[in-house]
Structure 1
Amino acid sequence: MPSPNAGQASSAREAGELYLLFSLDQDRYALNVHEVVEVLPLRRLKAFPQAPAWVAGGFEYRGALVPVIDLLVRACGRPAAALASTRLVLVHYRPANRVLGLILEKATDTLRLADSAFRDAGLSAGEAHYLGAVQASAQGLVQRIEVAGLLPDDVCALLFPSGGAAS
């Protein structure tokens, strides 16, 4: 006999995956919540002087050093504003099997988006391998962020020198 919640779970799957929405300047972007470890308020970070400008620094999280990137600097060339809605979002960075922090503006909403409705953006992402497919929503076009594409190999080696698991 199916559980009383089986119908609700099936309806949720049909409605799409749950995504955390955020902004890069005026555009909306989405992270699949299955990649999100935790959403935290902003905090002071230890600087990494030899890292690219978009590496904001790092902090200790559950006994491990977590590097943090400011996605606005990476994508738009300006730092994220310290807004009430700016968050430090921890994600599973699977290429290194570690946790990576992302500073994201307006990261306060979630939305169910059907994976089948995402379409190729139609433009080459160039070096921005983290830019995924897009889809229309009530908020306008939403572009998916591919966590695995956030760090070029050299930056991954700098931030995760052991390359081993520690999360």
Structure 2
Amino acid sequence: MLLLLFYIGDDLYALDSSQVLEVIPRVILRKLHHVPDYVAGVFNYRGSILPVIDLSLLIRGNPCRLCLSTRIIIVENTRQLTGKGYLGLMAEKITDTLSKAPSDEPQPHLTDMIIEGQRLIQLLRVESLLPKEEQQWLSSISST
């Protein structure tokens, strides 16, 4: 399993690369009103309106810092009811990957933590980031 590594604050997180379509530089986002604060905004992604979630704001309550290594991870929204929907996840220090053997995969009862040398890495699952209703609501933005 290949993992994409990134930071939220000082903590190291990972996404399974099979969930990742593309990693793009930070772009100018159009802010939406009357949405949760963690929705950083939307942008035109290959002809579709793509919502972007600020992972730092969602998980830690502080917005992502605007660094050169702050990127948007494009992932497939697996909870959408019809068709394919995509979602942008903004995170910091997206600069590395890690290859783990299938036997090293985290177990659900261990809260998806991976030990790599002296580092603790928490594996995030796209389908578990937001409640189902919010995932579907965000997907409806990209289909407009």
TM bucket (normalised to shorter chain) is: 0.7 to 0.9
Q: CA deviation at 1:115?
A: 3.7
Please name the residue that 2:137 is paired with. Answer: 158
Change (3 A) 1:43 1:119: same
Question: Residue 34 of structure 1 aligns with which residue?
Answer: 18
Q: Deviations over 1:15-34 (max 9, x none)?
A: xx111100111111111111
Counterparts of 1:144 and 1:35, CA distance in 2: 12
Counterpart for residue 22 of structure 1: 6
In the superposition, the TM-score normalised over structure 1's length comes to 0.76
Q: Work out whether 1:99 is the aligned partner of 2:78.
A: no
After TM superposition, the score normalised by the length of structure 2 is 0.88
CA distance in 1, matches of 2:133, 2:39: 13
Q: Deviations over 1:124-148 (max 9, x none)?
A: xxxxxxxx51110035011111011
Equivalences for residues 9-158 of structure 1 within 5 A? 17-96=1-80, 97-117=84-104, 118-120=106-108, 122=110, 133-138=112-117, 140-158=119-137
1:22–1:108 Cα contact (<8 Å) kept: yes
In the alignment, the residues of structure 2 paired with residue 121 and residue 143 of structure 1 have an alpha-carbon distance, to the nearest angstrom, of 13
The runs of 4+ residues in structure 1 deviating greater than 4 Å are none
Q: Which structure has more RCO (C-alpha within 8 Å, separation ≥ 6)? A: 2
The aligned counterpart of 1:10 is: none
Deviation of 1:150 after TM superposition, in Å, equals 1.8
User: Which residue identity does 1:45 align to in structure 2?
Assistant: L
Give the unaligned 5+ runs of structure 1: 1-16, 123-131
Aligned length: 140
Question: Looking at CA atoms only, which structure, 1 or 2, has the larger radius of gyration?
Answer: 1
SS of the residue aligned with 1:160? helix
Residues 51 and 158, structure 1, Cα contact 8 Å, conserved in 2: no
**1:162–1:67 CA distance, 2 compared to 1 (3 A):** closer
% same residue: 36
Query: Kindly tell me: are residues 108 and 121 of structure 1, through their superposed partners in 2, closer, same or farther at Cα, counting changes over 3 Å?
Result: farther
Displacement of 1:160: 2.1
d(CA) in 2 for partners of 1:139, 1:60: 40
SS in 2 for 1:161: helix
Calculate the aligned-residue CA RMSD, in Å. Answer: 2.0
Compared with structure 1, are the counterparts of its residues 25 and 162 closer, same or farther at alpha carbon in structure 2 (3 Å cutoff)? closer
Which blocks of at least 5 consecutive residues in structure 2 are unaligned?
none
